[in-house]
Amino acid sequence: MANDLNKVLLIGRMTRDPEFKSVNGSSVVNFSLASNRIYVSNGDKKEETNYFDCVAWGKLADILKQYAGKGKQVAIEGRLQQQSWETPEGKKASKIRIYVESAQLLGGNASNSGGGPSDRGESSPSTYDSGQSSGYDEFSAGDEDIPF
């Protein structure tokens, strides 16, 4: 039986400050990342922006609440999870969110302002891993291990 893989790596900018709440004593933040793709079509340079809903739990949520904000560039690693519900009108609805397992704060804010850690004289942690395992063994193959 083959193992399936649900893994997301994304670099983008936060579209708003993280929304913090506590659920059964655990910290949770919800935020949205915008990620741009630049490409050429028929000789014209084009840009496409995609928006992704994200959620982080525990210590990672606390760190993002404290150090990340609107416009901040963030690299995240996590997994996709579909949520389904029934609307008040009785229709089925669903959406896919990224459950963030690790994050790295990159660069400054898009506007270089906005109350980030550097504006408050604080230093921010550059990376945080929630410690949640993906369930897959990590390995590094050197050139001598390549079978061709």
Q: Where are the domains of the chain?
A: 10-38+46-106
Q: Residue 30: name the closest of 124, 92, 95 by CA.
A: 95
Q: Which of 27, 119, 25, 12 is nearest to 65 (CA)?
A: 27
The pLDDT-based confidence of 124 (bands split at 50, 70, 90) is: very low
CATH 2.40.50.140 assigned to 10-38+46-106: yes
pTM of the model: 0.70
Tens-digit pLDDT profile for residues 21-61:
999 999 999 999 999 999 999 999 999 999 999 999 999 99
Span 56-101, pLDDT tens digits: 999 999 999 999 999 999 999 999 999 999 999 999 999 999 999 9
CA 13, CA 41: separation in Å to the nearest integer?
25
Other CB atoms closer than 10 Å to residue 25's CB: what's the count? 5
Q: Assign residue 115 a region: left if phi > 0, alpha if psi is -120 to 50, beta otherwise? A: left
